[in-house]
Amino acid sequence: MEKGLISVDRWAEGSQAYFLTNLHTDHTQGLSSTWAMAPIFCSRVTAKLFPFKFPNFNLSLLRVLDLGSWHSLSLISPSTGSKVTVQVMAIDAYHCPGAVMFLFRGEFGCMLNTGDFRWEKNCERPTLAKEMLLNALKDDAVDVLYLDNMYCNPTFQFPTREVAAKQVLFKIPNRDFSFNIQFLNHDIVIGIDTLGKEDLLLHILNALNVKIWVWPERLQTMHLLGFHDIFTTDTSLTRVRAIPLYSFSINTLEGLNRMHPTIGIIPFGLPWVVKPFEGNGKLFDSLLTSGYNRSKVSSKGGKQNDKSNGNLESVKRFHKYVYSVQYSDHSSYLEIEEFIKLVQPTSMKGIVSSSSCNVDPFYYFGRICGINQPSQKLDNEH
């Protein structure tokens, strides 16, 4: 596609239409309440949350795209000055509330930008989204796939979110589960982002029949998402609290334990620390980029040992107060592979360039497309 027509999750000057896949901060860098350059296309849920993240934004610039419907844009070619028609469809990315993929088609061919996504097997929403995508494509080929390559590395195998949620419950005090007897008098804190992991919290509160404490801004987000009366900002009503990920630290847990016995749970796709707790009190606050739960997969796709099966033993204790569970809103390596097999793109580019674990997707998956393409700079410019 010719430059100067559209941008996805990029907010530099020079495009005629802008598209926002989700409201996480790494997708909105450069966007502010004073934005006035051009319309922004997004999902209905994102549009509902938008004023909370960007107060005083000119909402007349937002354009809502309903899932599964083609929308036509009339743009002007920067090079020829002639009219260019671009059709776009939003498809559920199942990453965080409001997250979507964008499928574009026109004289330039067909282009798909996944944004951040997770399409798990045997899950209703991804199944419906897959059908929507295939019906939209019909006999068209995807010429360029802009792919969420966050975990595009065979190192990263982790369970479905449903299984991971059960792993979290495995460590939460509950008199119905005898193996939690050691934590019956403990408070629980769970580190989450400002958006996302809602399904995990709902799984916990439904299983334990408790309310969950969240901070005031998060409560407003929950209300905007339609969750009323099940979350609270009153700490006296519950022992289970969801705290901002940026405030989840060993210092925080140690401080809480000076007041009351507390354990922390970090639900995240990447292991949170370099190595599990060995009883010496030492902790390294950094992300592991290799050697964790490794499944030996070559660039030719040969798998040599079993992937993570999501059993409860995969819950890792990284500190006497902290447990890590691999609950990811990004696709695992094998899920990325299945997605590429489904789409069969002619070319593809990774949209994640800042992660220390990302790999150019052609390194592992070029064989699926049948094209040998040299490594490219990972960018998301259209």
Q: pLDDT digits over 287-298, tens only?
A: 333 333 333 343
Same domain, 115 and 225: no
How buried is 124 (Cβ within 10 angstroms: 0-12 exposed, 13-18 middle, 19+ buried)? exposed
Question: β-pairing, 83-92 with 71-76?
Answer: antiparallel
Same domain, 51 and 129: yes
CA count, 13 A, side-chain hemisphere, 255: 6
Q: How far is CA 96 from CA 1, 38, 46, 118, in A?
A: 28, 25, 10, 9
Is residue 299 assigned to a domain?
no
3-state secondary structure of 168: helix
**pLDDT, greater one: 44 or 311:** 44
pLDDT of residue 173: 53
The CATH number of the domain holding residue 96 is: 3.60.15.10
Q: What is the pLDDT of residues 235-246, one digit of tens each?
A: 999 999 999 999
- The pLDDT confidence band at residue 370, using thresholds 50, 70 and 90, is low
Task: Read off the tokens for 98.
Answer: 């409001």
The CATH number of the domain holding residue 255 is: 3.40.50.12650
Same domain, 189 and 134: no
- The pLDDT confidence band at residue 10, using thresholds 50, 70 and 90, is very high
pLDDT of residue 195: 97
Contacts of residues 201-204 at CB distance under 8 Å and 24 or more positions apart, as own/partner, are: 201/231, 201/242, 202/227, 202/230, 203/162, 203/165, 203/166, 203/168, 203/169, 204/165, 204/168, 204/169, 204/172, 204/240
pLDDT of 309 higher than 70:
no
Amino acid at position 257, single letter: N
d(CA 268, CA 192): 9
Is residue 37 assigned to a domain?
yes
Domain count, the chain: 2
Structural domain of 248:
161-272+312-325
- The pLDDT confidence band at residue 139, using thresholds 50, 70 and 90, is confident
Q: With residue 191 as reference, give the H or E element that holds it.
A: strand 187-192
- The pLDDT confidence band at residue 358, using thresholds 50, 70 and 90, is low
- The pLDDT confidence band at residue 157, using thresholds 50, 70 and 90, is confident
pLDDT of residue 317: 78
Same domain, 176 and 319: yes
% of the chain surpassing 70 pLDDT: 80
Same domain, 201 and 69: no
**What is the pTM assigned to this prediction?**
0.86
Per-residue pLDDT averaged across 136-142, rounded? 92
- Which residues lie below 8 Å from residue 254, measured CB to CB, with a gap of 6+? 321
Range in 27-36, 100-109, 115-124, 280-289 the model is least confident about: 280-289
d(CA 118, CA 25): 18
Is residue 83 assigned to a domain?
yes
% of the chain surpassing 90 pLDDT: 64
- The pLDDT confidence band at residue 176, using thresholds 50, 70 and 90, is very low
Is residue 378 assigned to a domain?
no
pLDDT of residue 373: 53
Tell me phi and psi for residue 86, to 5 degrees: -120, 130
Is residue 262 assigned to a domain?
yes
Same domain, 316 and 339: no
Is residue 283 assigned to a domain?
no
Mean pLDDT for the chain overall: 84
Tell me phi and psi for residue 263, to 5 degrees: -120, 150
pLDDT of residue 355: 56
Same domain, 175 and 316: yes
Per-residue pLDDT averaged across 272-281, rounded? 46
Which candidate, 199, 144, 56, places its Cα nearest to that of 380? 144
Same domain, 135 and 197: no
pLDDT of 179 higher than 90:
no
3-state secondary structure of 125: helix
Please name the residue ranges forming H helices in 60-195: 124-137, 161-170
pLDDT of residue 171: 67
- The pLDDT confidence band at residue 361, using thresholds 50, 70 and 90, is confident
Is residue 278 assigned to a domain?
no
Same domain, 338 and 220: no
Same domain, 228 and 346: no
pLDDT of 274 higher than 80:
no
3-state secondary structure of 20: coil
Same domain, 92 and 241: no
pLDDT of 64 higher than 50:
yes
- The pLDDT confidence band at residue 357, using thresholds 50, 70 and 90, is low
Same domain, 189 and 319: yes
d(CA 324, CA 266): 5
Q: What is the pLDDT of residues 209-257, one digit of tens each?
A: 889 999 999 999 999 999 999 999 999 999 999 999 999 989 999 999 9
pLDDT of 56 higher than 50:
yes
Strands, E, within 247-372: which ranges?
A: 262-267, 316-319, 322-325, 347-350
Asked if 143 and 346 count as a contact pair (C-beta separation under 8 A), the reply is yes
Task: Read off the tokens for 236.
Answer: 């006296």
pLDDT of residue 379: 39
- The pLDDT confidence band at residue 352, using thresholds 50, 70 and 90, is confident
Is residue 375 assigned to a domain?
no
